[in-house]
Structure 1
Amino acid sequence: MIYVFKTNIKTKSQVKKLKPHIDKILPGGEWNFDLEDCDKILRIDCKENIVLNIIDLLKAHKFDCEELE
């Protein structure tokens, strides 16, 4: 399943800071940020429903995150 989130992540260093935390939630899942997109998209491809986990993680690190339909 592919999940798409709108975030306010702006830099590669912010992504690097989040990487170990996202990897921990998504063992075996694939994910990436599109920092060129105006919505700073986070795409996740995994089998489990991780929506709340990802939103909670980013909010815990003071970032905005909402799932896009």
Structure 2
Amino acid sequence: MEVLVFATNVTHQGQVSRVNALLTGLPDVTDWNFDLDDCDNILRVVASGLSPRHIEMLLLSAGIKCYELAD
């Protein structure tokens, strides 16, 4: 398992619900959460075998911008 960390443009609950619908359907995702108090509206995804690019493209398909933050 690894923790992938992304900056996003998510600012409200409706967008969080869209992300929930996308990530809940992925068997390789075991947990995820947002920190909307952070200036980058952080999304953390705990997953196995998923590339950051896969998450970025999945969220982009729902109109949500995100990019992986470097360690």
After the TM superposition, which segments of 4 or more aligned residues of structure 1 sit over 4 Å from their partners?
none
Which segments of 5 or more consecutive residues in structure 1 lack a partner in the other structure?
Answer: none
CA shift for structure 1 position 23: 1.0
Question: What does residue range 1-69 of structure 1 map to in structure 2 within 5 Å?
Answer: 1-27=2-28, 29-69=30-70
Identity percentage over the alignment?
33
Q: Specify whether residues 36 and 26 from structure 1 end up closer, same or farther in structure 2 by C-alpha distance, changes over 3 A only.
A: farther
* 8 A Cα contact 1:7 1:41, kept in partner: yes
TM-score, normalising length: structure 1: 0.86
Backbone CA RMSD of aligned residues: 1.5
Higher helix share: 1
What is the total number of aligned residue pairs between the two structures? 69
Q: Report deviation, 1:28.
A: 5.0
Residues 28, 66 of structure 1: alpha-carbon distance in 2 compared, 3 angstrom cutoff: closer
Give the TM-score normalised by the residue count of structure 2.
0.84
Q: CA deviation at 1:56?
A: 0.5
* SS of corresponding position for 1:54: helix
